[in-house]
Amino acid sequence: MIAAPTMTARAPANADGDHPAGVRMIREVRRRDAVVMKDGDLFDPPVAENAVVDYGGVTLEMLMVDGSSLSLCRMGPGDVLLDLETFCTPVFSLCYRADRPTRISWTRRPAFGARDAYDGMQELLVACMRRVHELACLQTAHRLYCELLRFAAEAPDGVSLVLPSQGQLALRLCTTRETISRELSFLRREGVLSAGREPRLLNRGFLVSTLSRALGVIEEADLLRSLGIRHAR
Protein backbone atom coordinates (compact mmCIF):
# COMPACT_ATOMS: atom_id res chain seq x y z
CA MET A 1 0.00 0.00 0.00
CA ILE A 2 1.33 3.42 -0.93
CA ALA A 3 1.62 5.72 2.03
CA ALA A 4 1.35 9.49 1.88
CA PRO A 5 4.67 11.18 1.17
CA THR A 6 6.41 12.58 4.23
CA MET A 7 9.31 15.01 4.17
CA THR A 8 11.92 14.60 6.89
CA ALA A 9 15.34 16.04 7.65
CA ARG A 10 18.36 13.77 7.29
CA ALA A 11 22.03 14.02 8.12
CA PRO A 12 24.27 15.56 5.43
CA ALA A 13 25.66 13.29 2.72
CA ASN A 14 28.99 11.59 3.23
CA ALA A 15 32.16 12.29 1.26
CA ASP A 16 30.82 10.36 -1.73
CA GLY A 17 27.67 12.47 -1.69
CA ASP A 18 25.37 9.51 -2.13
CA HIS A 19 23.93 8.78 1.31
CA PRO A 20 23.63 10.33 4.77
CA ALA A 21 26.67 10.22 7.01
CA GLY A 22 26.64 7.52 9.67
CA VAL A 23 24.16 5.32 7.79
CA ARG A 24 25.18 1.90 6.48
CA MET A 25 24.66 1.59 2.71
CA ILE A 26 24.43 -1.99 1.41
CA ARG A 27 25.52 -2.19 -2.22
CA GLU A 28 27.89 -5.07 -3.01
CA VAL A 29 25.90 -8.29 -2.76
CA ARG A 30 26.61 -11.43 -4.78
CA ARG A 31 23.84 -12.79 -6.98
CA ARG A 32 21.35 -15.09 -5.18
CA ASP A 33 22.86 -14.21 -1.81
CA ALA A 34 20.71 -12.91 1.00
CA VAL A 35 21.40 -9.92 3.21
CA VAL A 36 20.02 -9.04 6.64
CA MET A 37 19.48 -5.33 7.21
CA LYS A 38 19.30 -3.55 10.52
CA ASP A 39 16.77 -0.85 11.27
CA GLY A 40 17.88 2.28 9.38
CA ASP A 41 20.18 0.56 6.87
CA LEU A 42 19.96 1.79 3.28
CA PHE A 43 19.82 -0.68 0.41
CA ASP A 44 20.43 -0.09 -3.29
CA PRO A 45 19.68 -3.25 -5.35
CA PRO A 46 22.21 -4.27 -8.01
CA VAL A 47 21.16 -3.45 -11.56
CA ALA A 48 18.95 -6.08 -13.25
CA GLU A 49 18.62 -8.16 -10.07
CA ASN A 50 15.29 -9.30 -8.63
CA ALA A 51 15.48 -8.65 -4.89
CA VAL A 52 12.62 -9.86 -2.70
CA VAL A 53 11.72 -9.05 0.91
CA ASP A 54 11.77 -12.30 2.91
CA TYR A 55 10.75 -10.78 6.23
CA GLY A 56 10.67 -7.36 7.83
CA GLY A 57 9.98 -4.25 5.80
CA VAL A 58 11.63 -1.41 3.89
CA THR A 59 10.53 2.06 2.87
CA LEU A 60 11.29 3.48 -0.56
CA GLU A 61 12.88 6.91 -0.01
CA MET A 62 13.67 9.81 -2.30
CA LEU A 63 16.91 11.41 -1.08
CA MET A 64 17.26 15.08 -2.01
CA VAL A 65 20.59 16.78 -2.64
CA ASP A 66 20.07 19.00 0.44
CA GLY A 67 20.01 15.99 2.77
CA SER A 68 16.24 15.80 3.20
CA SER A 69 14.25 12.72 2.25
CA LEU A 70 10.75 11.90 1.08
CA SER A 71 9.22 8.59 2.15
CA LEU A 72 7.24 7.24 -0.80
CA CYS A 73 5.87 3.79 0.02
CA ARG A 74 6.53 0.75 2.18
CA MET A 75 7.29 -2.82 1.05
CA GLY A 76 6.77 -5.97 3.08
CA PRO A 77 7.36 -9.73 2.79
CA GLY A 78 6.97 -11.00 -0.77
CA ASP A 79 7.37 -7.60 -2.42
CA VAL A 80 9.93 -7.25 -5.22
CA LEU A 81 12.48 -4.43 -4.84
CA LEU A 82 13.11 -2.96 -8.26
CA ASP A 83 16.45 -1.66 -9.46
CA LEU A 84 16.30 2.09 -8.79
CA GLU A 85 19.15 3.40 -10.94
CA THR A 86 16.95 4.29 -13.91
CA PHE A 87 14.72 6.45 -11.71
CA CYS A 88 17.47 8.61 -10.18
CA THR A 89 18.03 12.17 -11.40
CA PRO A 90 20.52 14.98 -10.63
CA VAL A 91 17.92 16.35 -8.16
CA PHE A 92 17.29 13.19 -6.15
CA SER A 93 18.32 9.58 -5.74
CA LEU A 94 16.28 6.61 -4.54
CA CYS A 95 17.02 3.82 -2.10
CA TYR A 96 15.29 1.47 0.30
CA ARG A 97 15.57 2.02 4.06
CA ALA A 98 14.91 -0.84 6.49
CA ASP A 99 12.36 0.10 9.14
CA ARG A 100 13.00 -3.07 11.17
CA PRO A 101 15.33 -6.10 10.97
CA THR A 102 14.82 -7.23 7.37
CA ARG A 103 16.10 -10.05 5.15
CA ILE A 104 16.45 -9.51 1.39
CA SER A 105 17.14 -12.38 -1.01
CA TRP A 106 17.40 -12.87 -4.77
CA THR A 107 15.47 -15.02 -7.19
CA ARG A 108 16.22 -16.25 -10.71
CA ARG A 109 12.59 -15.94 -11.66
CA PRO A 110 11.59 -12.79 -13.59
CA ALA A 111 9.77 -10.38 -11.33
CA PHE A 112 6.05 -10.91 -11.87
CA GLY A 113 4.41 -7.67 -13.00
CA ALA A 114 7.73 -5.81 -13.11
CA ARG A 115 6.65 -3.70 -16.10
CA ASP A 116 3.52 -2.53 -14.30
CA ALA A 117 5.57 -1.90 -11.16
CA TYR A 118 8.03 0.29 -13.08
CA ASP A 119 5.20 2.25 -14.70
CA GLY A 120 3.51 2.66 -11.33
CA MET A 121 6.74 3.89 -9.73
CA GLN A 122 7.23 6.47 -12.47
CA GLU A 123 3.72 7.80 -11.86
CA LEU A 124 4.39 7.86 -8.11
CA LEU A 125 7.60 9.85 -8.53
CA VAL A 126 5.92 12.38 -10.83
CA ALA A 127 3.09 12.82 -8.31
CA CYS A 128 5.55 13.21 -5.42
CA MET A 129 7.65 15.81 -7.20
CA ARG A 130 4.48 17.71 -8.10
CA ARG A 131 3.44 17.71 -4.43
CA VAL A 132 6.89 18.86 -3.31
CA HIS A 133 6.69 21.70 -5.82
CA GLU A 134 3.23 22.70 -4.61
CA LEU A 135 4.32 22.72 -0.97
CA ALA A 136 7.47 24.69 -1.75
CA CYS A 137 5.51 27.26 -3.78
CA LEU A 138 2.73 27.91 -1.26
CA GLN A 139 2.22 31.58 -0.56
CA THR A 140 3.66 32.90 2.69
CA ALA A 141 0.34 32.96 4.54
CA HIS A 142 -0.26 29.29 3.74
CA ARG A 143 3.24 28.29 4.82
CA LEU A 144 2.55 30.06 8.13
CA TYR A 145 -0.70 28.11 8.49
CA CYS A 146 1.28 24.89 8.03
CA GLU A 147 3.62 25.91 10.85
CA LEU A 148 0.72 26.77 13.13
CA LEU A 149 -0.82 23.33 12.58
CA ARG A 150 2.55 21.74 13.40
CA PHE A 151 2.81 23.73 16.64
CA ALA A 152 -0.75 22.73 17.50
CA ALA A 153 0.11 19.07 16.92
CA GLU A 154 3.00 19.40 19.36
CA ALA A 155 0.94 21.16 22.04
CA PRO A 156 -0.26 18.96 24.94
CA ASP A 157 -3.83 20.21 24.56
CA GLY A 158 -3.69 20.72 20.78
CA VAL A 159 -4.51 24.44 20.97
CA SER A 160 -1.94 26.23 23.18
CA LEU A 161 0.82 27.34 20.81
CA VAL A 162 4.37 28.00 21.93
CA LEU A 163 5.60 30.03 18.98
CA PRO A 164 9.15 31.14 18.26
CA SER A 165 9.78 34.84 17.80
CA GLN A 166 8.45 36.53 14.68
CA GLY A 167 12.03 36.87 13.47
CA GLN A 168 12.60 33.12 13.84
CA LEU A 169 9.34 32.36 12.07
CA ALA A 170 10.39 34.67 9.25
CA LEU A 171 13.67 32.79 8.86
CA ARG A 172 11.91 29.42 8.83
CA LEU A 173 9.45 30.60 6.18
CA CYS A 174 11.95 32.60 4.10
CA THR A 175 10.08 35.87 4.48
CA THR A 176 10.24 39.09 6.51
CA ARG A 177 9.32 39.77 10.13
CA GLU A 178 6.84 42.40 8.94
CA THR A 179 5.01 39.83 6.82
CA ILE A 180 4.75 37.41 9.76
CA SER A 181 3.47 40.21 12.01
CA ARG A 182 0.85 41.19 9.43
CA GLU A 183 -0.37 37.61 8.94
CA LEU A 184 -0.58 36.90 12.68
CA SER A 185 -2.53 40.13 13.19
CA PHE A 186 -4.95 39.06 10.46
CA LEU A 187 -5.51 35.69 12.15
CA ARG A 188 -6.19 37.42 15.48
CA ARG A 189 -8.72 39.78 13.89
CA GLU A 190 -10.47 36.82 12.25
CA GLY A 191 -10.71 34.99 15.55
CA VAL A 192 -8.37 32.18 14.50
CA LEU A 193 -5.75 32.96 17.18
CA SER A 194 -6.10 34.55 20.61
CA ALA A 195 -3.94 37.48 21.61
CA GLY A 196 -0.71 37.13 23.56
CA ARG A 197 2.79 35.73 23.14
CA GLU A 198 1.48 32.17 23.62
CA PRO A 199 -1.79 32.27 21.67
CA ARG A 200 -4.47 29.62 21.59
CA LEU A 201 -5.71 28.20 18.31
CA LEU A 202 -9.40 29.13 18.38
CA ASN A 203 -10.42 28.18 14.84
CA ARG A 204 -8.40 25.23 13.57
CA GLY A 205 -10.94 24.65 10.82
CA PHE A 206 -9.98 27.93 9.11
CA LEU A 207 -6.37 26.78 8.69
CA VAL A 208 -7.39 23.28 7.58
CA SER A 209 -9.98 24.42 5.04
CA THR A 210 -7.70 27.11 3.56
CA LEU A 211 -4.79 24.70 3.10
CA SER A 212 -7.06 21.93 1.80
CA ARG A 213 -8.28 24.21 -0.98
CA ALA A 214 -4.73 25.32 -1.79
CA LEU A 215 -3.43 21.75 -2.05
CA GLY A 216 -6.50 20.15 -3.58
CA VAL A 217 -7.24 17.61 -0.85
CA ILE A 218 -10.55 16.88 0.85
CA GLU A 219 -9.91 14.92 4.04
CA GLU A 220 -8.09 16.58 6.94
CA ALA A 221 -6.08 13.41 7.53
CA ASP A 222 -4.80 13.55 3.92
CA LEU A 223 -3.83 17.19 4.38
CA LEU A 224 -1.90 16.51 7.58
CA ARG A 225 -0.07 13.54 6.05
CA SER A 226 0.84 15.68 3.04
CA LEU A 227 2.34 18.25 5.41
CA GLY A 228 4.24 15.62 7.37
CA ILE A 229 2.19 16.16 10.53
CA ARG A 230 2.01 12.74 12.12
CA HIS A 231 0.73 13.37 15.62
CA ALA A 232 -1.95 15.94 15.03
CA ARG A 233 -4.64 16.10 17.69
Q: What is the pLDDT of residues 115-163, one digit of tens each?
A: 677 777 777 777 776 677 667 778 999 999 999 999 999 888 888 998 9
Q: Is residue 231 part of a domain?
A: no
Is 1 domain-assigned?
no
The SS3 of residue 85 is: helix
* Burial class (CB within 10 angstroms; exposed 0-12, middle 13-18, buried 19+) of 171: middle
Query: The CATH number of the domain where 52 resides is what?
Result: 2.60.120
The residue ranking higher by pLDDT, 33 or 41, is: 41
pLDDT value for 166:
93
**145 belongs to a structural domain:** yes
Last residue of a domain, which of 136, 165, 194? 136
CATH number at residue 196: 1.10.10.10
Q: Rounded to an integer, what distance in angstroms lies between the CA atom of residue 6 and that of residue 226? A: 6
In a domain, 201, yes or no: yes
Q: Distance between terminal CA atoms of the chain?
A: 24
More confident: 48 or 193:
193
Q: Tell me what pLDDT residue 113 has.
A: 64
Q: What is the pLDDT of residue 49?
A: 64
Question: Which residue, 113, 136, 159, sits at the end of a domain?
Answer: 136
pLDDT at 47: 62
| pLDDT at 24 (0 to 100) | 54
Domain-embedded: residue 233? no
- Domain identity same for 150 and 126: no
Q: Do residues 13 and 96 share a domain? A: yes
Rounded Cα distance, 208 and 40, in Å: 33
Residue 11 lies inside a defined structural domain of this protein: yes
More confident residue, 38 or 114: 38
Asked whether residue 173 carries a pLDDT value surpassing 60, the answer given is yes
Asked whether residue 22 is domain-assigned, the answer is yes
User: In terms of pLDDT, which residue wins out, 169 or 131?
Assistant: 169
pLDDT at 188: 96
pLDDT score for 172: 85
Whether pLDDT at 1 is above 60: no
Same domain, 166 and 124: no
What is the mean predicted confidence (pLDDT) over 31-57? 79
Of the two residues 18 and 57, the one the predictor is more confident about is: 57
Mean of pLDDT values over 172-199: 93
Q: Which has more confidence, 50 or 15?
A: 50
Q: Sheet harboring 80-81: ordered strands across?
A: 34-37, 102-106, 51-55, 80-81
So what's the pLDDT on residue 61?
A: 87
pLDDT of res. 133: 67
For residue 220, give its domain range.
140-226
Q: Determine the angle formed by the axes of helices 177-189 and 140-154, rounding to 10 degrees.
A: 70
What are residue 98's phi and psi, to 5 degrees? -70, 135
- Co-location of 146 and 187 in the same domain: yes
The whole-number pLDDT of residue 31 equals 47
What's the pLDDT score for residue 148? 94
* 156 shares a domain with 122: no
Q: Are residues 59 and 132 in the same domain?
A: yes
Q: In this predicted model, what pLDDT tens digit does every residue of 202-230 receive, in sequence order? A: 999 999 999 999 888 888 888 887 787 76
Tell me, yes or no, whether 25 and 72 share the same domain: yes
How many separate domains does the chain show? 2
Q: For residue range 58-100, what is the model confidence (pLDDT) as tens digits?
A: 998 888 776 777 788 888 998 888 778 777 776 678 889 999 9
